[in-house]
Structure 1
Amino acid sequence: MSASMETEKQTASTWFRTLRDEIVAAFEGLEDSHSEGPFADQAAGRFEVTETKRAGADGEDAGGGLMSVMRGGRVFEKVGVNVSTVYGQLGERAQMAMAARKGLPGMKDDSRFWASGISLVAHMQNPHCPAVHMNTRMFWTPHGWWFGGGSDLNPCLEYEADTAHFHSVQKAHCDRHGTAHYPRLKAWADEYFYIPHRNRARGVGGIFLDDHNSGDWAADFVFIQDIGRAFLPAFLPLIEKRRVQSFGDAEKEAQLVHRGLYAEYNLVYDRGTKFGLETGHDANAVLMSLPPLAKWI
């Protein structure tokens, strides 16, 4: 592996941690500033931070990260912001999946990998506030490197203005790199976050990118940074607006049922969940995306 790629991997890993720190601070700021409306009389939530470890096949160090989870706050019922950098050898199932997706028959001969990224899922107290998912990541093998990521909005009570704002911020960040990106990434998200057995989308979409390698690492890294930077300005204004709204049993019921839909997707279809479990990462960190309460009808 070249010295340059080692530097680039470290640069990416450091930036994912920086983005994590910014989001954690912003979310705790939301908790502190929520002084009126539902749940304002509760204690402001704080993240509990736990180190995660990935054990290699022979018990050797294979990386890890931080799992940061807040439960039962004023604004967030459960939110996880995880960051990790893991490495080692891909298992046979992961090798086969990688070879099929990326066209890498050489994975069987050299199955080393390195992956770093941030993953976030937020489930809100107030059903007028949409749930949300975001992640950005870099993946490396001896056969190449790739970036991926995006974010998508998952309201149980949909507001057209909220959806329009979320998408407009993401479009503005994508357009810095060319106007062809946003339509392609939006369509990719619509396809990826679709639940076939329910014949419907998980939410109102967003942007999604995977296996991205233009041949210019620096340009691709700036692109994935802007995808990550789009998240807070796309999401925070929606929560600041909706967190003060009153709600009743019908709205809470709709939220719990929608969470069931979210759980189904993450357990059955989500590529990140499958990869995390197949490569031996901390199961609690991988499954932190699941809602605290859900309901099926």
Structure 2
Amino acid sequence: MTSPAQEMHSEKARAADWFRALRDQIVAAFEALEDNHSEGPFADMAPGRFEVTETTREGEGGADAGGGLMSVMRGGRVFEKVGVNISEVYGTLGERAQMAMAARKGLPGMKEDPRFWASGISLVAHMRNPHVPAVHMNTRMFWTPHGWWFGGGSDLNPCIEYAEDTAHFHGVQEAHLAPHGDDLYPKLKAWADEYFFIPHRGRARGVGGIFMDDRNSGDWAADFALTQDIGRAFLPAYVPLIEKRRVQPCDDADKDAQLIHRGLYAEYNLVYDRGTKFGLETGHDANAVLMSLPPLAKWV
């Protein structure tokens, strides 16, 4: 008979393996899009490729504390910049992170035992053609001796909005969440609308999607299955939008609108995003944490 500790070790490995497999699938799909872009704007450019770099996190006393893979494509003919990162990090939380965890999750024991483990995939795509929407996706698992939690989602960030694109993106996600309960999609959609709101601008970052955090229903397998379906929804929700819009003509005014919207995206990620704050506070590779920032942006 396996102990609870052994079972959780196996579950951590399953989650980390899943995030890596999803990363491999997305990287292959995105490079295929680069190869197949043979007409329309920017088709005369060379197809982009991901550069893969190992990332590390240094623990106390220089001890190994995990790391991951940073996969970034720059200067592609479809993707101007896209990052697909995976990580598996562990160690002890610093005082600020302990306080945040205790406040959010109601964990009074964090100070006495601040160990943690976390793994996940994080993706942000900034597109060459302004008519193709930018996108963000992540899924993750977080563990402490006091419990485990899943989180993540995906949201669409167009600078030029098309109602049919928004409807498709949301419709695919709703279909993937349906097996987990009729009430789940409306709940996670509303959560995304609240989370991806920029208070100092008084507006949303994009047209929304789905988002969850601190998911622990008491059934690890069910929560993991939900997290997997959030990940599985991403490519069918997003790739058709790329295929439709990448051939659309664009001009300087379109590019200007894109750069201004990217400024909005950068503001959100640097000021409000929990994942950015957690990555920097726990000492993960800063380049990997900040890969979400656009290659170029503009403020008026």
Partner of residue 25 from structure 1, selected from 25, 28, 46:
28
Partner of residue 119 from structure 1, selected from 98, 117, 122:
122
> For residues 254-269 of structure 1, what are the structure 2 equivalents within 5 Å?
254-269=257-272
The equivalent of 1:281 in structure 2 is 284
Residue 176 (structure 1) shift: 1.2
The equivalent of 1:201 in structure 2 is 204
Q: SS of the counterpart of 1:247?
A: coil
Q: SS of the counterpart of 1:198?
A: coil
The aligned amino acid for 1:105 is P
The equivalent of 1:52 in structure 2 is 55
What runs of 5+ residues in structure 2 fail to find an aligned partner? none
- Give me the whole-angstrom Cα distance separating, in 2, the residues matched to 1:13 and 1:199: 37
Deviations 1:88-122 (A, max 9, x none): 00000100000000000100000000000000000
- Give me the whole-angstrom Cα distance separating, in 2, the residues matched to 1:233 and 1:220: 21
Deviations 1:72-99 (A, max 9, x none): 0010000000000000000001000000
Q: SS of the counterpart of 1:228?
A: helix
The equivalent of 1:244 in structure 2 is 247
- Give me the whole-angstrom Cα distance separating, in 1, the residues matched to 2:226 and 2:156: 20
- Give me the whole-angstrom Cα distance separating, in 1, the residues matched to 2:230 and 2:76: 27
> For residues 215-254 of structure 1, what are the structure 2 equivalents within 5 Å?
215-254=218-257
Deviations 1:229-254 (A, max 9, x none): 00000000000000000111110000
Q: SS of the counterpart of 2:67?
A: strand
Q: Give every structure 1 segment of 4 or more consecutive aligned residues whose post-TM-superposition deviation is greater than 4 Å.
A: none
1:190 equivalent in alignment to 2:193 = yes
- Give me the whole-angstrom Cα distance separating, in 2, the residues matched to 1:203 and 1:241: 19
TM-score by length of 1: 1.00
Identity within the alignment, %: 81
The equivalent of 1:61 in structure 2 is 64
The aligned amino acid for 1:139 is F
Q: SS of the counterpart of 2:241?
A: helix
The equivalent of 1:176 in structure 2 is 179
Q: SS of the counterpart of 2:83?
A: strand
C-alpha RMSD over aligned residues = 0.5
- Give me the whole-angstrom Cα distance separating, in 1, the residues matched to 2:26 and 2:99: 35
Q: SS of the counterpart of 2:60?
A: coil
Q: SS of the counterpart of 2:284?
A: coil
The equivalent of 1:163 in structure 2 is 166
- Give me the whole-angstrom Cα distance separating, in 2, the residues matched to 1:98 and 1:77: 36
The aligned amino acid for 1:42 is M
The equivalent of 1:211 in structure 2 is 214
The equivalent of 2:137 in structure 1 is 134
1:73 equivalent in alignment to 2:76 = yes
- Give me the whole-angstrom Cα distance separating, in 2, the residues matched to 1:154 and 1:286: 19
- Give me the whole-angstrom Cα distance separating, in 1, the residues matched to 2:102 and 2:178: 31
The aligned amino acid for 1:9 is K
TM-score by length of 2: 0.99
Deviations 1:183-227 (A, max 9, x none): 000000000000000000000000000000010101110110000
Partner of residue 86 from structure 2, selected from 78, 83, 101:
83
The equivalent of 1:99 in structure 2 is 102
Q: How many residue pairs align between the two structures?
A: 297
Deviations 1:242-277 (A, max 9, x none): 000011111000000000000000000000000000
What runs of 5+ residues in structure 1 fail to find an aligned partner? none
Residue 58 (structure 1) shift: 1.1
The aligned amino acid for 1:10 is A
The equivalent of 1:108 in structure 2 is 111
The equivalent of 1:272 in structure 2 is 275
